[in-house]
Structure 1
């Protein structure tokens, strides 16, 4: 533990330089920083990461989204389009373990910051490259956003109600999936470096990250010709597993598709005979009568308020859960017991609540040490570490380099 009583985290001592902006690369940097890495984020001196202005709510002009994605990072301003800014970046990267970037492929090479050049400076460097379509292939030079990767990776087609056009998940899931795969790749490359002493490139494409979580979608088509379609709130032939209305206007998700669990649900419904009814007795039979069964369960759930219904189902060992909003999360004892939501002091807004660090480690748990910093808040201290004195920094700032 540190002097403050917080764990240094399992990645304490790992140095990360983060470039790029918005979400895919920066979320990878957030995850590494959450686990204790020293993350130096390089931003444009004029505006910084556009995420500083993003979000549906900007209290006192502060982006709450940035307070999360920028947390645990040190902000350094450098103009990477300027040769002097590029040289300072090289000096920072020379002492780094990991470089994270999510520019369009070829950008780093045009700046003299390609992997070949950087590996000469730092043979052990792990270079994490997040992009829409990867570093090669005919689409690599296309502008690649998370939404495009979600569409190309197969997710958009299967999300939503069959009566509507393909829908989107309500968060930037393509970007965050690419960042998760990038983080896994970075950790794997750091582990391999312990044996070889050499760094390597981690190439995380958004569309491939989405494709990677699409379950058996590909072999279903290749082997059987089966094309998954949009199915709304259910999985076809998996019943009962749906959201059901309650008397007090809430929704409760009930997952009782296993035979033994369905028998417990039937007992909770005061209709134990349903478990032996040939129409519902097997997984296949329930799947064939999915809509009919869902309507029957909805009639049962609609007669009880959510709290009583949840308690009844818990008593009978039936997996269930309310559809949570933030207000529910703050009040929930499970969230409270595990500190799933934490508070961090913001210099402008005061205490700001946000999701904690996941997963948790038993000895070296990651922590949120500070929220997303002000633009360039750490430029002086970081550049001093590579020999830039205050007078030189003043000149760099006057010329727009830092």
Structure 2
């Protein structure tokens, strides 16, 4: 247990939950890494009081994740641990399990992302939790879900993306299907857990009872597959990876400008295609039988892609952007993060929020809050707490009424 922050540290003054749409909702987060903590982050962004629980001897590995660091500090933690109070608690021992159930008395939502059966092994299964607090919502995130023949398997986002069919669709034909350079499957799982928790809270208002929200990373990825399943079921068609475009959707692709930058032009609808033709000074293409409608353009995708690519290659990216915006054609650049943080649209929408990080004693930019709420906007109060157990004294005193001597005893015993 660590509780050594100076009394003047601004992070100490956050016992009340942040304001927002979920003010008054308390969440216990016992997941690690990305999917569970992402769900907790989204709840915290909207004002829930999120209490993150880490084992005293096994802090969340996310504390040391990320590609960049400064003086040994990684910044991934500041994104998914923001707005959360951090305590330590060993759920593997009976005294820790008792303390957790005491916390459950004061909670509305539990988020966990262990392998199925772990909570039951700790005598903290749904039967125990719901008996203790019938209104509790338990959001469970795992690789394959709580049931089925794969339930007991460990699961990571990369495997979930592959098993769901999502990874197969990425990349170019006859090439290894690449991953996106973020943990997409985890993020999807976290978003569905957030969505499910909110739906369960609404249902609780009607029924008075909580329920289990069972999220599988593999199913979260599968849910993104659009028409691939009915297409296969009815016709046997297996959608293939299509590189930078979608098959039969044209023109909608990446096109290289004269100065070597990539520009996305998406003009596959009839009205947009007509606008693009005028912008290219090629109005005759509108009535060309090869491109006369969506189906025809899909069947002649290579032809129209070549025409647009040739035109784009004669203009630099800024000129292309100006022409397309004036014509009302959907288009945009392929930005790096350096481009993104300078983008005036994102800045105008407060999509770069300063997180105060006490480890470097400075504000660090992080992603803003989505969606924007006009009446109860979300907020970012602080970055992830610098040490496991940072809020032990506050949480165990405020919620459970433990005195300092009992907190010290539990710390010495390794329970917290």
TM-score by length of 2: 0.93
Q: Offset at 1:279?
A: 2.1
Q: Does the 8 Å CA contact 1:239/1:287 hold for their aligned counterparts?
A: yes
Corresponding residue of 2:397: 384
Pair 1:96 & 2:113 matched: no
Q: Does the 8 Å CA contact 1:94/1:118 hold for their aligned counterparts?
A: no
Q: Look up the SS of the partner of 1:129 in the other structure.
A: strand
Distance 1:101 1:7, change over 3 A: closer
Q: Offset at 1:52?
A: 0.3
Q: Does the 8 Å CA contact 2:18/2:381 hold for their aligned counterparts?
A: no
Among 294, 297, 322, the residue aligned to 1:286: 297
Partner Cα separation in structure 2 for residue 149 and residue 361 of structure 1: 32
Q: Does the 8 Å CA contact 2:18/2:48 hold for their aligned counterparts?
A: no
Residues 158-179 of structure 1 deviation map (CA, whole Å, 9 limit, x = unaligned):
1111130222222111111111
Pair 1:50 & 2:64 matched: no
Q: Offset at 1:292?
A: 2.1
Pair 1:360 & 2:372 matched: yes
Corresponding residue of 2:356: 345
Among 110, 117, 125, the residue aligned to 2:136: 125
Corresponding residue of 2:412: 398
Q: Offset at 1:280?
A: 1.9
Partner Cα separation in structure 2 for residue 7 and residue 127 of structure 1: 22
Corresponding residue of 2:91: 80
Partner Cα separation in structure 2 for residue 399 and residue 57 of structure 1: 36
Q: Does the 8 Å CA contact 1:135/1:203 hold for their aligned counterparts?
A: yes
Pair 1:235 & 2:246 matched: yes
Q: Look up the SS of the partner of 1:388 in the other structure.
A: coil
Partner Cα separation in structure 1 for residue 38 and residue 245 of structure 2: 30
Q: Does the 8 Å CA contact 2:78/2:355 hold for their aligned counterparts?
A: no
Q: Offset at 1:387?
A: 1.9
Partner Cα separation in structure 2 for residue 344 and residue 178 of structure 1: 24
Q: Offset at 1:118?
A: 1.1
Q: Look up the SS of the partner of 2:141 in the other structure.
A: strand
How many equivalent residue pairs?
399
Matches within 5 A, 1:138-177: 138-177=149-188
Bigger mean CA offset, 271-280 vs 33-42: 271-280
Partner Cα separation in structure 2 for residue 7 and residue 54 of structure 1: 26
RMSD (Å), alpha carbons:
1.5
Partner Cα separation in structure 1 for residue 142 and residue 96 of structure 2: 23
Q: Offset at 1:106?
A: 0.8
Partner Cα separation in structure 1 for residue 403 and residue 32 of structure 2: 28
Unaligned runs of 5+ in 2: 1-12
TM-score by length of 1: 0.96
Q: Does the 8 Å CA contact 2:188/2:220 hold for their aligned counterparts?
A: yes
Unaligned runs of 5+ in 1: none
Partner Cα separation in structure 2 for residue 271 and residue 196 of structure 1: 62
Q: Offset at 1:7?
A: 7.5
Residues 258-280 of structure 1 deviation map (CA, whole Å, 9 limit, x = unaligned):
12211111111122111122222
Partner Cα separation in structure 1 for residue 94 and residue 259 of structure 2: 63
Residues 36-74 of structure 1 deviation map (CA, whole Å, 9 limit, x = unaligned):
000000001124100001111121222211100000100
Q: Look up the SS of the partner of 1:16 in the other structure.
A: strand
Pair 1:304 & 2:315 matched: yes
Partner Cα separation in structure 2 for residue 174 and residue 44 of structure 1: 25
Matches within 5 A, 1:197-346: 197-346=208-357
Residues 102-140 of structure 1 deviation map (CA, whole Å, 9 limit, x = unaligned):
111111011111111111110100011111111111111
Bigger mean CA offset, 189-198 vs 275-284: 275-284
